[in-house]
Amino acid sequence: MQRTLAIIKPDAVQRRLIGKIISRFEEKGLEIIGLKMTVIPNDLAKKNYSVHEGKDYFEKLVRFMTSGPVVVLVLRGKNAIGVVRKLMGSTSGHEADPGTIRGDYAISGRFNLIHGSDSVESAEREIPIFFDDSSIIESEKSDLKWIYDMSDDLTGENLI
Ligand code: ATP
Ligand code: MG
């Protein structure tokens, strides 16, 4: 099972979209295994978005991400990284497809509501920026056998 980091950005929190966004992840079948509300300090925002350092929008991106409270999540599920990216939609709200979070609720290119790790390497790098191991809670959810076909593998290693 894959893990990914998602951040409900300051614009989404101010626009009272936390519940709607979390519902999309839950309804899809992803498990929330880490969750917190925080105001991201400057150094952590820079670290999370370090691949964008040097881009002309970097300072504004960091200012935006540190401008108010965010909700940070660790989500778990089959192909969680790709699934979350699909649920988010493409980067700019005005280009994102209807049915996606950005496509339904955003129109800006920067105020785009949600961050999601874009690769296994990014997820492995980003999760420890916000969560230590003890604050990730991997309890077995009782509905898992109805979310996945686990008839061939009750260990949950090979979910279908
Ligand atoms: P995120 O990393 O937040 O999940 P993303 O992976 O879809 O978004 P990236 O290319 O990684 O998009 O850009 C990171 C963030 O930087 C975007 O979400 C957006 O807020 C901002 N951004 C990216 N490109 C631009 C740009 N050209 N002008 C302004 N802001 C930008
Ligand atoms: Mg990105």
Domain at 2-133, CATH from 3.30.2000.10, 3.40.50.12280, 3.40.50.300, 3.30.70.141: 3.30.70.141
Residues near 121 by Cβ (< 8 Å), separated by ≥ 6?
none
pLDDT at residue 153, rounded to an integer: 74
| Atom 30 of ligand 1, residue of closest alpha carbon | 110
Residue with tokens 């979910």: 159
Output the CA 116–ligand 1 centroid distance in Å: 10
CA-closest candidate to residue 67, choices 57, 56, 59:
59
Confidence bin at 42 (pLDDT 50/70/90):
very high
Question: Mapping DSSP to helix (H, G, I), strand (E, B) and coil, where does residue 27 land?
Answer: helix
Ligand 1: lining residues by beta carbon, under 6 Å: 52, 57, 61, 91, 109-110, 112, 115-116, 118
Output the CA 160–ligand 1 centroid distance in Å: 32
The CA-based angle 143-3-136, given to 5 degrees, is 80
| Atom 23 of ligand 1, residue of closest alpha carbon | 110
Q: Are 1 and 81 in contact (CB under 8 A)?
A: no
Confidence bin at 64 (pLDDT 50/70/90):
very high
Say which of 5, 71, 115, 117 is annotated catalytic: 115
The mean per-residue pLDDT over the stretch 7-21 comes to 98
Ligand nearest to the CA of 114: 1
Q: Is 102 annotated as contributing to ligand binding? A: yes
Confidence bin at 9 (pLDDT 50/70/90):
very high
pLDDT at residue 25, rounded to an integer: 98
| Atom 20 of ligand 1, residue of closest alpha carbon | 110
What gap in Å lies between CA 110 and CA 146, rounded to an integer? 37
Given a cut of 70, is residue 154 above it in pLDDT? Answer: no
Output the CA 160–ligand 2 centroid distance in Å: 28
The mean per-residue pLDDT over the stretch 20-45 comes to 98
